[in-house]
Chains A and B, each alone.
Chain A
């Protein structure tokens, strides 16, 4: 099992460009999450999907959109990237439906720089 995979690992964008971060899990988990991690700020929840077909905002959703494509895949889209979105992005999944109700398994992260 690969667990939680994220693509790409690194990305550099110019201000105003768009991109989609991909996340997939092969553990048949119900819930999936997107976080960003900034120096001195800790992890912050952007969006989550408690089950296939549902998505909800987390602490810092502005500037992002998500799609729960199917049970395996949860993508994060930046429509018009800004330098403030420079961060490391982590995807995670958990077996039980619901926010923070079960052990989470994290992907390796995507390091995004917006110039």
Chain B
């Protein structure tokens, strides 16, 4: 079983929809990261969190340490949000999920 599982693997949405991407992990962690990989391959860090909730613009990340689960929400989605979203956890090592590919249609 992978230590970090993301769902869904692929997601297609219409512009304006509310989007949720999930990340579950099986190890004890000290931090969880959300990253965005653009279609051209560039990677940008979105959030690092160890508890609670963080918000940046239309993006919201939450984490529930007891349930070993984090969610990334995108409000009022836009085609420019189309990317792969990657979750990573910092336990004994730094382990990444395989990503969720999001496509937002106009």
Q: How far is the CA of A44 from the CA of B88 in the complex (A)?
A: 10
Q: Which of A41, A48, A88, A100 contacts B88 (CB 8 A)?
A: A100
Let me know if B43 and A44 touch, CB within 8 A.
no
In the assembled complex, B26 has its CB within 8 A of some CB on chain A? no
Report A93 CB to chain B, min CB distance, Å.
11
Residues of B within 8 A of A104 (CB): 33, 35, 45
Main secondary structure of the interface of B (DSSP, over half): strand
In the assembled complex, B86 has its CB within 8 A of some CB on chain A? yes
Interface residues of B in 80-106 (CB under 8 A from A): 86, 88, 90, 93-99
Residues of A within 8 A of B11 (CB): none
Q: Which of A99, A105, A108, A109 contacts B94 (CB 8 A)?
A: A99
Q: Which of B31, B41, B48, B95 contacts A109 (CB 8 A)?
A: B41
Interface residues of B in 49-98 (CB under 8 A from A): 86, 88, 90, 93-98
Report A36 CB to chain B, min CB distance, Å.
11
Q: How far is the CA of A44 from the CA of B44 in the complex (A)?
A: 16
Q: Which of A59, A100, A106, A108 contacts B90 (CB 8 A)?
A: A100
Report B61 CB to chain A, min CB distance, Å.
13
Q: How far is the CA of A40 from the CA of B99 in the complex (A)?
A: 9
How many residue pairs link A and B with beta carbons under 8 A? The number is 54
Q: How far is the CA of A92 from the CA of B42 in the complex (A)?
A: 11
Report A23 CB to chain B, min CB distance, Å.
14
Q: Which of B42, B48, B88, B90 contacts A43 (CB 8 A)?
A: B88
In the assembled complex, A70 has its CB within 8 A of some CB on chain B? no
Let me know if A45 and B93 touch, CB within 8 A.
yes
User: A33-B94, A45-B96, A106-B45 given. 17 additional CB < 8 A pairs?
Assistant: A41-B98, A42-B98, A42-B99, A45-B95, A58-B94, A59-B93, A59-B94, A59-B95, A90-B43, A99-B93, A100-B88, A101-B31, A103-B48, A106-B42, A106-B43, A106-B44, A109-B41
